[in-house]
């Protein structure tokens, strides 16, 4: 069983005695900065000149500086820029300005695990990775609850990296829910596997393929959208609440029997073999290199694939169907459809 940490395992005073420089003010950045501030921690946000986030962070009452100046003040430097820019950002703006012995904190292990960032030996290298989007991390904290987090120590230069990582996790609300001890390697490889094989890649392709099969068989696209996409959330909510068993209990016996006899025909043994191939590419760095090389070239492959995804017929049908629901007016203020 995984080792877990709770509120009593951490001392808030550790992080309260330090200045924390949060670099980036996106999904995770805004949540970490605001939760730390509300936990009595001295926070400075580091952003690029001209970044749209400057106004947002200042409106929230945070101190904003250039990346260089924020780093200079940080006893703990939290790198929450997108994964693909972190290596250059580190080399050019963070590393030259780091205080001796400053701790480096990440929310995902990608750059450390694959060696794109190689910190000097005198820095603690630690991770607090919330198991949820930043907007949920902030919302739950404000509601007096927290999102579970993963905690790891890659490099314990100070000998105090564990008390520090746990104190930080507590300050962002993570210990209210609980922290799981893991490693940079395990976090990185399982995170990439989950999003590629199941949560993002697997699920998107499963929905699109189901939609294509129904439409190609002559059924109305609106019907196909409801059956293979809209109802997904209802099913996933049941799984979240009570596992696959609760989902099967709540569905009709017809649906449950169909699940048993047809699920294994769709996701057959060959799918498991393909998942293992994807895992191998994650473990040996093939995926990381492909992603980073494409990004370095201006992301031509990424942009082409994104455009193809947006052009899939299910997107147009879905947009029209979702406009029929009242909840569509409550879309996330930071997201506009068609502007991923």
Kindly tell me which residue out of 10, 20, 22, 29 binds ligand NAD, with binding defined by CB under 6 A: 29
* Residue ranges in 144-203 that form contacts with Mg ion under rule CB under 5 A: 191
Between the CA of residue 228 and those of 50, 213, 317, 318, what are the distances in Å? 42, 10, 12, 11
The count of residues interacting with ligand NAD (CB under 6 A) is 24
Q: Which stretch binds ligand NAD (CB under 6 A): 45-53, 207-215, 261-269, 307-315?
A: 45-53
* Residue ranges in 300-329 that form contacts with Mg ion under rule CB under 5 A: none
- Which residue, 28 or 295, has its beta carbon nearer to ligand NAD? 28
* Residue ranges in 214-233 that form contacts with ligand NAD under rule CB under 6 A: none
* Residue ranges in 240-269 that form contacts with ligand NAD under rule CB under 6 A: none
Kindly tell me which residue out of 25, 162, 184, 211 binds ligand NAD, with binding defined by CB under 6 A: 25
| Residue 168, annotated as binding a ligand | no
Shortest Å distance, C-beta 82 to Mg ion: 11
In the structure encoding, which two tokens stand for residue 96, read together?
A: 């030259």
What does 134 interact with, of Mg ion, ligand NAD, none (CB < 5 to 8 A by kind)?
Answer: ligand NAD
Shortest Å distance, C-beta 199 to Mg ion: 7
d(CA 67, CA 61): 18
Shortest Å distance, C-beta 260 to ligand NAD: 34
| Residue 27, annotated as binding a ligand | yes
> What is the rounded (10 degree) CA torsion for 96, 97, 101, 103?
-100
In the structure encoding, which two tokens stand for residue 97, read together?
A: 């300005």
DSSP helix/strand/coil, 158: coil
Binding mask 98-127 for ligand NAD (x = CB under 6 A): ---------xx-------------------
Between the CA of residue 138 and those of 134, 142, 189, what are the distances in Å? 6, 6, 26
Q: Which stretch binds ligand NAD (CB under 6 A): 26-34, 69-77, 235-243, 261-269?
A: 26-34
Residues 6+ apart with CB under 8 A from 13: 167
The active-site residue, picked from 108, 113, 123, 312, is 108
The residue of the chain with the least Cβ separation from ligand NAD equals 26
- Annotated active-site residue 6? The verdict is no
Residues 6+ apart with CB under 8 A from 164: 14, 15, 76, 103, 124, 126, 158
DSSP helix/strand/coil, 318: helix
In the structure encoding, which two tokens stand for residue 194, read together?
A: 């989950």
| Residue 39, annotated as binding a ligand | no
* Residue ranges in 53-72 that form contacts with ligand NAD under rule CB under 6 A: 53, 67
In the structure encoding, which two tokens stand for residue 182, read together?
A: 């893991």
Q: In what order do the strands lie in the sheet with 125-130?
A: 4-5, 179-181, 149-155, 125-130, 103-106, 76-79, 19-23, 42-47, 63-66
- How many CB atoms neighbour CB 33 within 10 A? 28
The site for Mg ion (CB under 5 A) is made up of: 191, 249, 251, 256
Catalytic residues: 108
Question: In the complex, which residues of this chain contact ligand NAD (CB under 6 A)?
Answer: 23-29, 47-48, 51, 53, 67, 80-83, 85, 89, 107-108, 129-130, 133-134
């Amino acid at each position: 069983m995984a080792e877990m940490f709770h509120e009593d395992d951490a001392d808030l005073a550790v992080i309260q005695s330090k200045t924390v420089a949060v670099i980036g003010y996106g999904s995770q950045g805004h949540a970490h900065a605001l939760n730390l501030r509300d936990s009595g921690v001295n926070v400075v946000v580091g952003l690029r000149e001209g970044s749209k986030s400057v106004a947002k962070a200042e409106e929230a009452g945070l101190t904003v500086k250039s990346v260089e100046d924020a780093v200079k003040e940080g006893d703990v430097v939290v790198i929450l820029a997108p994964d693909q820019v972190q290596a250059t950002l580190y080399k050019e703006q963070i590393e030259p300005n780091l205080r001796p012995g400053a701790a480096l904190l990440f929310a995902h292990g990608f750059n450390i695990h694959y060696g794109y960032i190689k910190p000097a030996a005198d820095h603690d290298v630690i991770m607090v990775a919330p198991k949820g989007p930043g907007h949920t991390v902030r919302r739950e904290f404000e509601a007096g609850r927290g999102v579970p987090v993963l905690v790891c120590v890659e490099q314990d230069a100070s000998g105090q990296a564990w008390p520090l990582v746990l104190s930080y996790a507590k300050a962002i609300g993570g210990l209210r829910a609980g922290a799981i001890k893991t490693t940079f390697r395990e976090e990185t490889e399982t995170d990439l596997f989950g999003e590629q094989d199941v949560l993002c890649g697997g699920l998107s392709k499963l929905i699109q393929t189901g939609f294509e099969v129904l439409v190609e068989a002559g059924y109305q696209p609106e019907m196909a959208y409801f059956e293979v996409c809209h109802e997904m959330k209802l099913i996933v909510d049941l799984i979240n609440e009570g596992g696959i068993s609760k989902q099967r209990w709540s569905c009709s016996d017809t649906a449950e029997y169909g699940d048993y006899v047809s699920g294994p025909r769709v996701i057959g043994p060959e799918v498991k073999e393909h998942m293992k191939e994807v895992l191998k590419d994650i473990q040996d760095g093939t995926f990381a290199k492909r992603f980073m090389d494409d990004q370095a070239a201006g992301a031509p492959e990424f942009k082409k694939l994104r455009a193809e995804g947006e052009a899939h017929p299910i997107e147009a049908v879905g947009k029209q169907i979702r406009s029929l629901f009242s909840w569509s007016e409550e879309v996330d203020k930071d997201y506009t459809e068609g502007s991923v």
